[in-house]
A and B are shown apart, each in its own frame.
Chain A
Amino acid sequence: MTRSVRRRLVQRAAVAALLASGVGAAMADEATRPYADGGYFEIGVGYFVSRSIKARVDGDGQRDVSRLGTLSLSGALRRGPFFLEARRGGLDGVSVGATLWYDRQHTLDVLAAHVPGTVDIGWSSGDDEPAQDERSRNDRLLSRESLLGMSGLRLRRFQGDSLLQLSTAIGWKHGNGVLSGLHLGRQWQWGNWSGQALVGVRHASSAFADFIYGVDEDEATERFARYRVPSTVFAEADVSVARPLARRLVWRSAARLRQFDDAVTDSPLVTGSRSWSLDTTLSYVF
């Protein structure tokens, strides 16, 4: 048995043990639960504008700006301690997990499977074949930020309309990088408008950051030289507003900002230190 396989087995066994020990406790006292059973599923159409910190494949020094119409599926489901969350809007991602422990103000969740980011569904052929020409290799380097399967823990403290969250998750592949976060959030209601603001910092281990922003020896091209990313901290903020338009129709808009430090901005793949996005969506809620 190789070391990485053994490590993976140990990680999964630890998650299973945590689940087994915590679920019973979490189901014990419904009166003090700071969360509620339920769920929703929504389908949305919207418009998304973003400016990445990454370079464009067709121009040095130019940052990639995307403007696209979006079709999004998202939802959440909780039954007792178990939950599934798939969000678009706010800080996106998909999580499957269970609440290990709680009291009136706190929840400690294990994220059995956690995929930060948005799932883009598309079709391409021959992706596994090594790219031959320079442009294809550059393109592959710039579009490497894809799905990252992770598992981890999330501790939340609720206080009125505020939230404090600590989270940490370890990647399943690509060197088992670790992404940890500290976030503060607050929600408001003005008339029938609801708002949410989040600010936070994330720490990405070298393995995690390197998978996204590093260039290995065998990947390097004339334009993108070899670069090894050290561990890094980045800040993020997210503000969103939502309003019901009808019994099942919600309009939502969000603005998001991320600020990266030198560890990331020194990467040849990166030409800026700040990324942002604007997102507006009309969703039908089932």
Chain B
Amino acid sequence: MCSERRCFVAVAALWWAGLTPVSASAESLELVARPAQCIALHRGQPCYQEVVLSWGALDAQGTWCLLSDAQSAPLRCWQGGAVRQHVHAYASADTERFSIRRDGSGAIVAKTRVTTVWVYREPRRGSSGWRLF
């Protein structure tokens, strides 16, 4: 529980934050992947797809990087708020996670992920694999 004074300060701060046109707020920025699923035939097969990653307005003063957990180097880095999307060649047998990081502070301001799903839930060698008698 907060004291009366601290609670007032916190509510006021939240109200102020809500009114201010924050363009790089970590809480409000949404990173969207379309499509968010990639469909492969059999479990374990990698899936290949072009994924469009898009996000809202970022602080024009900042330097930003789009990251993937599938590689150590950033997918891209840029300065300012002009860049709003990136087309990524997805190739994964499970899930790839993406995030936008403010360069310098290292703060992650948005996250999303793309998941591979399969039509047949067994690996290719399983019951759905070989069609032969």
Name A's B-contacting residues (CB within 8 A).
34-40, 76-78, 83, 85, 87, 89-93, 95, 114, 116, 158, 161, 163, 165, 167, 183, 185, 187, 189, 191-192, 194, 196, 198, 238, 240, 242-244, 246-250, 285
Check B122 against A196 for contact (C-beta < 8 Å): no
Name B's A-contacting residues (CB within 8 A).
37, 39-42, 45-49, 117, 119-133
Distance (whole angstroms) from the CB of B84 to the closest CB of chain A: 28
Q: A192-B47, A194-B42 are in contact. Are A89 and B131 (CB under 8 A)?
A: yes
Considering only CB atoms, which chain A residue lies closest to B39 in the complex? A244
Check B133 against A250 for contact (C-beta < 8 Å): no
Distance (whole angstroms) from the CB of B132 to the closest CB of chain A: 5
Check B127 against A189 for contact (C-beta < 8 Å): no
CA distance A217 to B119 in the complex (A): 52
Give the residues in chain A near B41, CB-CB below 8 Å.
192, 194, 242-244, 250
**17 A-B Cβ contacts within 8 A?**
A36-B123, A40-B122, A40-B127, A83-B127, A87-B133, A91-B131, A93-B133, A187-B124, A189-B46, A191-B48, A192-B39, A192-B47, A194-B42, A198-B132, A247-B39, A248-B119, A285-B119
Considering only CB atoms, which chain A residue lies closest to B120 in the complex? A40
Distance (whole angstroms) from the CB of A149 to the closest CB of chain B: 13
Check A35 against B119 for contact (C-beta < 8 Å): no
Distance (whole angstroms) from the CB of A18 to the closest CB of chain B: 19
Q: A244-B40, A285-B119 are in contact. Are A189 and B45 (CB under 8 A)?
A: yes
Distance (whole angstroms) from the CB of A41 to the closest CB of chain B: 10
CA distance A37 to B120 in the complex (A): 12
Q: List 8 additional contacts besides A40-B121, A247-B39; criterion CB under 8 Å.
A: A38-B120, A38-B121, A39-B128, A77-B127, A90-B130, A91-B133, A161-B124, A189-B45
Give the residues in chain B near A77, CB-CB below 8 Å.
127
Q: A85-B127, A191-B48, A192-B47 are in contact. Are A246 and B132 (CB under 8 A)?
A: no
Check B39 against A246 for contact (C-beta < 8 Å): yes
CA distance A196 to B46 in the complex (A): 17
Question: Total number of A-B contacts with CB less than 8 angstroms?
Answer: 95
Distance (whole angstroms) from the CB of B40 to the closest CB of chain A: 6
Which of A87, A194, A246 has a CB less than 8 Å from the CB of B45? A194
Top 7 closest pairs, chain A to chain B, by CB: A90-B131, A76-B127, A38-B122, A93-B133, A36-B126, A244-B39, A78-B127
Q: A89-B131, A90-B130, A250-B41 are in contact. Are A36 and B48 (CB under 8 A)?
A: no
Considering only CB atoms, which chain A residue lies closest to B122 in the complex? A38
Considering only CB atoms, which chain B residue lies closest to A117 in the complex? B133
CA distance A38 to B42 in the complex (A): 12
Give the residues in chain A near B37, CB-CB below 8 Å.
247
Interface centre among B119, B121, B126, B132 (most CB of A within 10 A): B132
Distance (whole angstroms) from the CB of B131 to the closest CB of chain A: 2
Considering only CB atoms, which chain A residue lies closest to B128 in the complex? A40
Considering only CB atoms, which chain A residue lies closest to B44 in the complex? A36
Give the residues in chain B near A93, CB-CB below 8 Å.
133
Check A90 against B132 for contact (C-beta < 8 Å): yes
Distance (whole angstroms) from the CB of B46 to the closest CB of chain A: 8
Check B125 against A34 for contact (C-beta < 8 Å): yes
Q: A40-B121, A185-B132, A240-B131 are in contact. Are A78 and B126 (CB under 8 A)?
A: yes
Distance (whole angstroms) from the CB of B92 to the closest CB of chain A: 12
Give the residues in chain A near B117, CB-CB below 8 Å.
247
CA distance A215 to B40 in the complex (A): 49
Interface centre among B40, B45, B48, B126 (most CB of A within 10 A): B126
Distance (whole angstroms) from the CB of B10 to the closest CB of chain A: 44
Distance (whole angstroms) from the CB of A168 to the closest CB of chain B: 12
Distance (whole angstroms) from the CB of A265 to the closest CB of chain B: 24
Considering only CB atoms, which chain B residue lies closest to A198 in the complex? B132
Distance (whole angstroms) from the CB of B120 to the closest CB of chain A: 6
Interface centre among B42, B128, B131 (most CB of A within 10 A): B131
